[in-house]
A and B are shown apart, each in its own frame.
Chain A
Amino acid sequence: MIPDVELQLQVVIKSLTDNVLPAVDTNNELAVQQAQLSIATLQNVRSQLPLLQKTLLKDISLHLGLLDELAALAPGAPWSRPALALAEEINGILSDPKSGICEMQDKARLLRETISEILDSKELSDSDSAAKLVMSVAEQSLLIGRAYTKSMGFEPDATRVPDLSELVAS
């Protein structure tokens, strides 16, 4: 479709940078700061957009694995069957080519909510094994999150964080 999202982002960034920001009163610190951050946010979106779907897929995949492993710690728990049914439903959405990004985002969040609910359950609350599983998945999922936000400038040494494209390739 024309104009495509990539073009729209590109032209907005250029317009704000070339024409709008230079016209902002430099004495208005709030306006200058927000204009700069608005441009930076759009640049961030533009750079991450091509990888957004793969990032969501990877996030869902990691947390589906975590859900499976948590369920295995407490077979027969009352939440076990609904949780595994959710996992199956989400797996179906992942393999459905009609699934959109927003739907995937919703399911990724529902999955995380379900996992956290399970962690507070009678069976797994304060479980060392459950905690270790969470920490192990966090190792990978947080690296993806850091790669996703790397260009925002918070990392003390950005070279230590792999590129997002590498992390979501598989």
Chain B
Amino acid sequence: MAIELKSQVCRDQPSEAFIEYLQKKYPTETEIDEVLTRKLRNRRKRQECYTPVTLEQLVEATKKLLQEKIGNNFELTKPRWLSGGASMIQMAFHLSWQGPEGNVPTETDMVLRMSPMEPVVETSFKRESAIIAVVQKNQLLPVPSCYWVDETGEYLPYPAIVYGFVTGVAKPSTAPKVQVTGIGLNFGPHLRDKLAPKVIKQMANLHRFNAENLVIEGFDPISAGSNASVLREINWWRRVWEEDRGEEEPLIRVAAQWLVRNAPEVDHVSIVHNDLRSGNFLFEEKNAEITAWLDWELVSLGDRHQDLGWLLAYQFGHYAEDGSTFLASGLLPTEQFLALYEKETGMPVDREKLKYYDVLNTWKAAIIVLGTGYRVAKGGKTHQDVVVSWLSGIGYLVLNNLKNALNEVLV
């Protein structure tokens, strides 16, 4: 059966033929293929819109998950909605249980994060929980404890993950008195001086860890000295664009071709968070201690420059009080940041790779907001379609950043 790729029907009601076409054209990591294929099969099955889940329904479903994982000896209390974030539905609760070993009475505050019917980024909780375990075991940087995963929505209405609740704030409770220009999180001069070295040190710890021989669930093997993993990642997002877009954008095609042609080898295999920036770590205001790094759903194994480029991106920074010094992620001037990062990691920063990953990161961001953002809102698949649709309005600015990044590298 011929697949009409120019029609939206193939995306709204994806056939097995379409799925097979995508798998063949854009081979990705095994788990990524599984996640994206499940997404399309669910989309075909569920033509209805997402309808809100009540707190009571979520509590009952969470109890079913817990019963499966830890038996009946627990009590779930104080359930409440948590706001924030464009993709996940979040419920906080208190759990009285027997602890991870099953024999010590334990009181734990927890957070359930559940996908809506189709989130704005389709990811693997299996990968997320596996990496959290590695990061914790090796004490690379502070992360919330991950307890349980419902990978396919067997107990809960949709896939979900349960974390320990972590205290801290993502941004200062009081805005700095001096108004600075630009966008991005402003910590203020006092806090940023304390936070910056800690952020860099922890980021360095993460990236310095050699993930080359890591054998963990959900990740295909990756070798230093090869660009195979980069090509697989490009395929991941090319496939997402093909699956979700509402309107083609020739610039995205041109960028994809350039990315494939110029995919660099990975010199050192790192754990790559893929959304490392201010706003994704919690800290205690009184002493600027970072309590946890969050949002690991896009984690991969690859090149540290991908994380570095993202954190340094213009949209996450702002100008300092002098009006002219740009602060990367609201922390430090870019060059100072890079110098400190090189010192902490003991590894050089390759400026050409930074440019490459600037293109890759911006290209991915455009695909997410203009592709999946469009598709899930159009299908009525989330608990906040109006938010997702509104966020797609950043698409042309992101594409403009992509154009500028490409202009820097195209000969």
A101 within 8 A of B: no
Contact residues in A for B249 (Cβ distance below 8 Å): 112, 116
Question: What are 30 inter-chain pairs, A to B, with CB distance below 8 A?
Answer: A33-B384, A34-B384, A37-B387, A41-B386, A41-B390, A44-B393, A108-B247, A112-B250, A113-B6, A115-B248, A116-B248, A117-B6, A120-B253, A128-B411, A131-B257, A131-B258, A134-B251, A134-B253, A135-B254, A135-B406, A135-B410, A138-B251, A142-B403, A143-B400, A145-B396, A145-B399, A146-B397, A148-B396, A152-B394, A154-B393
Assuming the contacts A116-B253, A138-B251, A156-B183, asked whether A34 and B395 have C-beta atoms less than 8 A apart, the reply is: no
Interface 1/0s, chain A 55-70, versus B by CB < 8 A?
Answer: 0000000000010000
A110 within 8 A of B: yes
Assuming the contacts A34-B386, A146-B396, asked whether A115 and B81 have C-beta atoms less than 8 A apart, the reply is: no
A165 within 8 A of B: no
**Which residues of chain A from 66 to 86 have a CB within 8 Å of any chain B CB?**
66
Q: How far is the CB of B323 from chain A (nearest CB, A)?
A: 13
A104 within 8 A of B: no
Closest-by-CB residue of B relative to A59 is B247
**Which of B's residues lie within 8 Å of A, judged by CB?**
5-6, 81, 83, 182-183, 246-254, 257-258, 261, 314, 383-384, 386-387, 389-390, 393-397, 399-400, 403, 406-407, 410-411
Beta-carbon contact of B257 and A125 below 8 Å: yes
- Given A114-B6, A137-B250, A142-B400: 15 more A-B contacts, CB < 8 Å: A34-B387, A37-B387, A41-B390, A112-B247, A113-B5, A117-B6, A119-B253, A125-B257, A134-B251, A135-B251, A135-B410, A138-B403, A149-B395, A149-B397, A154-B393
Beta-carbon contact of A131 and B254 below 8 Å: yes
Beta-carbon contact of B399 and A138 below 8 Å: yes
Question: How far apart are the CA atoms of A156 and B318 in the complex, in Å?
Answer: 10
Contact residues in B for A109 (Cβ distance below 8 Å): 246-248
Assuming the contacts A30-B81, A128-B411, A155-B397, asked whether A66 and B248 have C-beta atoms less than 8 A apart, the reply is: no
Q: How far is the CB of A16 from chain B (nearest CB, A)?
A: 12
Q: How far is the CB of A116 from chain B (nearest CB, A)?
A: 4
Question: How far apart are the CA atoms of A40 and B81 in the complex, in Å?
Answer: 25
Beta-carbon contact of A33 and B387 below 8 Å: yes
Contact residues in B for A166 (Cβ distance below 8 Å): none
Interface 1/0s, chain A 136-170, versus B by CB < 8 A?
Answer: 01110011011011001011100000000000000
A6 within 8 A of B: no
Contact residues in A for B248 (Cβ distance below 8 Å): 109, 112-113, 115-116
Question: How far apart are the CA atoms of A108 and B247 in the complex, in Å?
Answer: 9
Contact residues in B for A99 (Cβ distance below 8 Å): none
Assuming the contacts A134-B251, A135-B254, A145-B395, asked whether A110 and B403 have C-beta atoms less than 8 A apart, the reply is: no
Beta-carbon contact of A154 and B257 below 8 Å: no
A10 within 8 A of B: no
Contact residues in A for B394 (Cβ distance below 8 Å): 149, 152, 154
A29 within 8 A of B: yes
Beta-carbon contact of B254 and A119 below 8 Å: yes
Q: How far is the CB of A89 from chain B (nearest CB, A)?
A: 14
Q: How far is the CB of A106 from chain B (nearest CB, A)?
A: 10
